[in-house]
Structures are given as structure tokens and as C-alpha cells.
Structure 1
Amino acid sequence: MPRVLVIDDQPDARTMVSIVLRINRFEVVEASSGAAGLNEFEGSKFDLAIVDIFLQGTNGLDVIRNMRERIPGFPVVAISGMTALDFVVDAPELSSVVCLQKPFRPADLIAAIEAATASRSPGAGVVRVAGSAAS
């Protein structure tokens, strides 16, 4: 069972992501802050991380950089409800990060996870998965 670290300071968003993942047979570890997420990451093995870019007290990009310093090319889905995440393209250490804009449908989340795990090699480029709760 793939193990996923979900880092989001919004409890409702974190819970929604975790429920979708558990329904799709992922083992989920939740963290409510960047510091808590990095502690979990340092202490355990994960197959993927889902990281909110705008965390209170921490920049999600710094969290991702930290993860990538430890494990280059580590699969990450960056999520945000505040921006289109276009700036991620300008950060080479964030190559192959999959970007997903809130709100998103469960199918969008699963597609983003598939894209992130398919693009494990550094330099694969930033992938954007359109997220929208509207039908």
C-alpha cells in the first residue's frame, strides 16, 4: 500500500484529501504544519507527499525543497487555492512537481498522484493538473 504524507494547515482540506486517498487504498499520514510534516518525513518512509504551498508560518516550497534535498526527485503534488502555481516553473529544484489548484475533484487528485509518480526523474518538468470542483 503506497504511503502518502499530506501536509496542509487547513483541517477540512487535509481531511478531504486523506479520505480520498484512503478510499483509493493509500496509507495516509497527516501533518498540520510544515515543521510537523518534515518531522514525519525525516522519521518515516513515504512514496509521495502532497504539500500545500501556503502554510501558516512556513512556505510549502521550502518544505518541498527540504524533501528534495534528502531524496532528489521525490514525488510531490503541490496544492494551492491562492495561485495558479506558475512560479514553480522558475525553481529548478522543484522540477517534476505536479501542481494542483484547489478546489479539485477526487479524480483530479488521483490523476495528479499518477502524474507525480510517473515523473520521478529530476528534470521531468512541472506538470499542472486542472483542479476545479465545478462541474
Structure 2
Amino acid sequence: MPRILVVDDQKDVRAMICMVLRVNQFDVIEAGTAASGLQLFRDQAFDAVIVDIYLDDSNGLDLVSSMRALVPDVPVVAVSGMTAFDGASMSDELTRVVYLQKPFRPAELMRAVETARAAVAAKGTPSLSACAG
């Protein structure tokens, strides 16, 4: 069963994401802060990560960069309630990231996860491929 780390500071959003993933046969680990998410990422292996871009304690893109410094090819879905993802593709660590705008439907979440996993597997670059929300 594939393992996904979900990092979002909004408990209700995190719960919804986790529920959708579990229904779709993923093993899900949750974190409410960037610090706890990074520690979990260091301690365990994950097949993908879902990170909120705007976290209370950190910038989610900085978290993604830190994770990619440890595991360069980890599939990433970055979610945000904001519409601007400007400049997100500037650094190497932020390539092959699928961006998903909140609110999103369960099918859109699953499509974003599969796109991120497929892009890394194929070494593609869907950076700034914002999925409609």
C-alpha cells in the first residue's frame, strides 16, 4: 500500500484529504506543522507528499525544498487556497510539483496525486500544472 505524508495546518482540510486517500487504498501519515512533517519525512519512507503552501509555521514551498533535498524525486502535490503559484517553478527542488487549488473535489485530488507520481516516475516536469479546483 503506497504511503503518503499530508502536511496541512487546517485540521478539517487534512482530515478530508486523508479520508479520500484512505478510501483509495493509501496508507496516510498526517502532520499539522512543517516541523513535524519534515521530521516524519526524515524518519519514514513515503511514496508521495501533499503539502499546503501556506502553513502557519512555515512556507510550504520551503518545506518541499527541504524534502526534495533529502529525496530529490519524491512526488509532491502542493495545495493552496490562493490562486497565485508565481515563481514556484524557479528552483530545481520545485520542479515536477503538481499544484492543486483549494477547494478541490476528491477526484481532482486523486488525479493530482497520480499525476505527481507518474511525472516523477517518468522524470517529467508538470511544474505549475495547476489542477482546476
TM class by smaller structure: over 0.9
Which is strand-richer, 1 or 2? 1
Report if aligned partners of 2:5, 2:31 keep a CA contact under 8 Å in 1. yes
C-alpha distance in 2 between matches for 1:89 and 1:70: 18
1:69-109 CA distances to partner (integer Å, 9 max, x unpaired)?
01112100000002332321223320000000000000000
Report the equivalent of 2:85: 85
Aligned residues: 132
Query: 1:105 — aligned with what?
Result: 105
Q: Could you say which residue in structure 2 is the equivalent of 1:8?
A: 8
Contact 1:108–1:129 (CA<8 Å) still a contact in 2? no
Question: Contact (CA 8 Å) 1:98, 1:128: kept in 2 or not?
Answer: yes
Residues in 1 aligned to 2:49 and 2:130: alpha-carbon distance in whole angstroms: 16
Q: Secondary structure at the match of 2:103?
A: coil
Runs of 4+ residues over 6 Å off in structure 1: none
Distance 1:26 1:97 in 2: 19
1-structure distance, mates of 2:103, 2:126? 23
Q: CA RMSD in A?
A: 1.4
Residue ranges of structure 1 left out of the alignment (5+ in a row): none
